[in-house]
């Protein structure tokens, strides 16, 4: 069975979805790693018996030192793939060159790279928004695209409705991309 390591920073909703849909069914989530000691996803991973590692970026002098430690921790699990699922760190070339990783981004790249992508997508003039799963590269949200899910903005009466819809489809897109890459279907 293929193994992945999931990196996350927040509530862990994407991690939760992957645990429910894929873990021990189509692949094994060998570990979950967070940079945030207060992340809600820690409890979710532990509920499933998945090892959790906390690598707090604030404990490191710079990005390279943090990424070096992060790469070391990931390599301890020998994953077939590393999945960034709401991991809110800009990674260095050292990470991109050392780890086979994909990232979930909540916009149709190349539009809206970086932070606050859902809001910027909602406010732009395009009739659709969506999500992208792409390979991690040294360029922020710039790696080769694996897949995109589009969502028409028409019909949403508020940003909150649109935001919630994006958050729903991103989970499905991420699971599909993981299985496409690992051929786990």
Catalytic one among 23, 105, 112, 134?
105
Half-sphere exposure of 77 (CA within 13 A, CB side): 26
Number of other residues whose CB lies within 10 A of the CB of residue 55: 20
23 is catalytic: no
What are the catalytic residues?
105
């Amino acid at each position: 069975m293929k193994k992945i390591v999931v990196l996350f920073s927040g509530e862990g909703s994407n991690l939760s979805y992957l645990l429910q849909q894929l873990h021990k069914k189509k692949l094994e989530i060998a570990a979950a790693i967070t940079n945030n000691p207060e992340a809600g996803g820690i409890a979710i991973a532990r509920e499933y018996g998945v090892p959790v590692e906390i690598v707090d970026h604030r404990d490191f002098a710079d990005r390279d030192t943090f990424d070096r430690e992060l790469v070391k921790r990931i390599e301890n699990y020998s994953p077939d793939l590393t999945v960034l699922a709401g991991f809110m760190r800009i990674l260095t070339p050292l990470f991109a060159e050392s780890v086979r990783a994909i990232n979930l981004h909540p916009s149709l790249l190349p539009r809206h790279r970086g932070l606050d992508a859902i809001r910027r997508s909602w406010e732009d003039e395009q009739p659709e928004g969506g999500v992208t799963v792409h390979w991690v590269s040294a360029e922020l949200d710039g790696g080769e695209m694996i897949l995109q899910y589009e969502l028409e903005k028409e019909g949403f009466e508020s940003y909150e409705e649109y935001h919630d819809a994006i958050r729903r489809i991103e989970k499905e897109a991420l699971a599909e991309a993981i299985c496409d890459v690992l051929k786990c279907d």
